Amino acid sequence: MNILSSFFKGKKAPKKDQPHRKAAAYPSPETPQFIVGDLHGNLDLLEHILEQIDHVIGTLEVRDPKLVFVGDYIDRGPSSAAVLKRLYELSTEFSDNVTCILGNHEQMMLDFMEAPEARHARWFRNGAAETLASFGIALPAEPDWPATANAVAMALRGQLGDPMEDWIRSMPTSIKTGNLLITHAGTDPGRAIDDQSPRVLLWGHPEFLTRTRTDGHWVAHGHTVMENAVCADGRISIDTGAYSSGCLTAAVVLPNGTVEFLQTTAPREAQ
């Protein structure tokens, strides 16, 4: 079942002549944003959410829509290679309207390729085997670390190819539009929105989900799996654990303060 549910029901978007009130109470990007949660190698869910987004854009006659993916395209699911290829094609063909943000899983893969012997353990604990399999790279039954790590890194680099590897390395850790910051894992609520460390944006901050920002900025993010998507207290949380739940979420954030969610399936509590 497809869902398009408003999380501002009963609330009117602020008038355009009240910018300060609007910035404090509502996210107000400069252009319509369609923000897609963590994919983790699920090509079918990606295609389903793209169909829904296309339908909404056409129905609402949205002008200059921006499509933003919040990272974690690989690992855990079965189709990491195909997901990367699809996103690479989209971001290349529609470079002004599609942005892919770096996630911590992509960073782990890049770290592994840079230093296979030192960095293989962390990535392999977090879904590397599924990603490698999607590229046709099989691990030996009894890996000989670190020699195996070097061979695998070389094979992966060959399967990715220079254009795609360069594209992944060029991914931003965040984008900002109006009073909305879009990133993978969240921000440090005690630091200015423009003074965030890349590590926090990739891996999160211990106070991000419990301490509300006081500067009027909103943060849309993935990384932390939620039972249901959340829009509250300056946060738009859209990682609904697609790789295990089958529920991929996208947030539709409009300049007038409206926030709605698209999902590939009903929330788990409603199933």
Q: What one-character-per-residue DSSP string does 217-240 give?
A: -EEEE-SS--SS-EEETTEEE---
pLDDT at 267: 47
Share of residues in the chain with pLDDT > 90 (%) = 84
Which of 2-6, 26-30, 44-48, 204-208 shows the lowest mean pLDDT across its residues? 2-6
CB 238 within 8 A of CB 37: yes
3-state helix, strand, coil in the chain (%, to 5): 35, 15, 45
CB 40 within 8 A of CB 73: yes
Question: What's the pLDDT tens digit per position in 46-93?
Answer: 999 999 999 999 998 999 999 999 999 999 999 999 999 999 999 999
Q: 269's torsion region: left (phi>0), alpha (psi -120 to 50) or beta?
A: alpha
Long-range contacts: 204-210, Cβ < 8 Å, 24+? Answer: 208/235, 209/235, 209/237
Question: What's the pLDDT tens digit per position in 114-146?
Answer: 999 999 999 999 999 999 999 999 988 888 888
CA distance 91 to 107: 19
